[in-house]
Amino acid sequence: MGGKNKIRRQINKKAILLAHFGTSYPVALSALGNIKEEVQEQFPGIETRICFTSNRIRTIWASRRRKPESWLAKGVPEEIMYAQSLLGAIGNLQDQNYRTVIVQPTHIYHGEQYEDLQSCIRALQSIRTIKKAWAPFDKIVLSRPTLGTYGIEHDYVEDIDEVVQALETDVIRAKASGASLVYMGHGNDFFSSGAFFETQKAMRAFYPDSSIYIGMVEGYPGIDEILQALEKDSIKHVLLKPFMITAGDHAHNDMNNPEPDSWKSRIESLGIQVDVAMEGLGANGAFAGIFAKRIQQTAEDHGIDLHPAEKMMVSKQEEKNGEWK
């Protein structure tokens, strides 16, 4: 027998998923916590969770879960201890009726990690069910990385300018000790690191009285090019800091390490004094706030209301004052 299907509706809760590369260093976790706190403060009624996109980092934490008590006793948050992959975290959200999800990457630029994120989200967006009511998601969308990405909706140059202004405290710190500011970014061997070069150019223009350099662990310019620039400019003193969300593995092993091939040692080999700031950019409140702004913009782009409680309170107040009909 044929018949008309009844209209069915699913519960549709909203969530924000912060997609971190991740870190295995407990001392670096505060930067990730700072970002989450900033986002939760801006969107108090929205579920906010995290995931780690790095397979290597997740493998390290998986091995530590064999004896989680010792790590939890050291102050490692449980959500870090059991951090999932992007697809694992999204699957859990979907199982719990979070069918509107904004994925906010905390990757610095549009490189390999962000490209992989795009691929996963596009695949999930492409799912079509016979009955629309049973689609796994109402909306699942990907926001922009820190330095922006290509497209006409949001000018990546403006995204870079926001980052430049958020880094004012680093510039002030370096200037106070008469040092040049040298950042060590991650970069990528498979994607252009031009966004970092544009950021360096923007920082020098915004802070014309400061000497600023941005180099890459992978890609161009690397430490060799940074050393050439420092020597050419007769730099005598630098503040060395990671241009990364956390001061994790690369900061400890590539940047601040007594071995002769570290950035600190190689810069010192030129007779330059080196001060090291072992702080990830995520620990900077102004920088962390950029992600909340990205999330709000992405929500508006896709017609997602992340402040329903505030609007309800306004409506009730207007009704109470006789201004609402």
| pLDDT of amino acid 308 | 75
272: nearest Cα among 309, 232, 235, 321: 235
Integer CA distances (angstroms), 132 to 3, 7, 15, 91, in order: 18, 10, 20, 18
| pLDDT of amino acid 312 | 47
21: nearest Cα among 147, 114, 122, 159: 114
| pLDDT of amino acid 319 | 46
Q: What is the DSSP string of 185-209?
A: EEE-SSS--HHHHHHHHHHHHHSTT
Residue pair 264/215 in contact by the 8 Å Cβ criterion: no
Residue pair 107/149 in contact by the 8 Å Cβ criterion: no
What is this structure's pTM? 0.91
Burial per residue of 170-199, b for 16 or more beta-carbon CB atoms within 10 angstroms, e otherwise: bbebbbeeebbbbbbbbbbeebebebbebb
Query: What residue type is assigned to position 7 of the chain?
Result: I
Q: Supply 199's token pair.
A: 């950021």
Tell me which residues of the chain have a pLDDT lower than 50. 312-319, 324-325
